[in-house]
Amino acid sequence: MALKSINLSQCSLLTYASLDILADSLGSILKELYLDDCILIDANLILSGLKRLEQLEVLSLAGVPTVSDKFIESYIIARGHNIKELILKDFINLTDASMKVIAEHCPGLHALDLMNFCRELRKLKFCRNPFRWSLVGQQTALSLSNNAKNLHTLDLTGCRNLTDNEIGLIVDRCLSLRSLKLFGCSQVTDVFLKRHSNIEIQIFGLNLCPLLQHIKEPDSE
């Protein structure tokens, strides 16, 4: 049976040369690769080797310090169409640019781990993304509520796996949040609307009400 999964996590002496060897040997068959906490790996130097892993479906890079938005963009555009699970924990310097490219180029994505990801994130849209129905759920809500303290605008259009409690958790903990779009979220009820504590937020799209209904009227003066 051909080797299809390799876990090299915490191999502290691993370098880009090892990834080149791996790509040369298993480039056409490897399905899963875990490189968590391989601190000597330069993400830019392993990019070529990763792109040669033509069948890779699961990639974990948690704790690799040199992963950047530029790296994510280059790799995902090249190989995102195959990826089903992507683990990007503890990348606090990545921005919403990485989320955007993942959403646009990973149509088969089933699992996305973004723990401690994008702490400076201010605007996030999940609408019209091919994975929104199955992926945006409880773990997404927990991650946002714990880490997205600067989030100002959130579009959850069509994200029907989120319950009143989960959306409420986001709204109550993300105190900078001012705009929330919930078009098509028919599962959201008055339980959320009446119990969340963020009095500054504007909510759009519930109950098929007009868009302007939730917007504050300007001061007459």
Domain 1-118 and domain 121-221, same fold? Reply is yes
Q: What is the pLDDT of residue 213?
A: 44
Average pLDDT over residues 64-82: 94
Residue range 87-111, pLDDT digits in tens: 988 887 788 788 889 888 998 888 8
- CATH number attached to the domain at 121-221: 3.80.10.10
The total number of residues written for the chain in this structure: 221
Q: Is 1 helix (H, G, I), strand (E, B) or coil?
A: coil
Which pTM does this prediction carry? 0.65
**What is the bridge-based pairing of β-strands 32-34 and 58-60?**
parallel
Please write the tens of the pLDDT for every residue from 161-194: 889 999 999 999 999 999 999 998 889 998 998 8
| Domain boundaries of the chain, sorted by first residue | 1-118, 121-221
1-118 is classed CATH 3.30.450.40? no
For residues 204 and 100, the model is more confident at: 204
Identify whether the C-beta of residue 124 lies closer than 8 Å to the C-beta of residue 148: yes
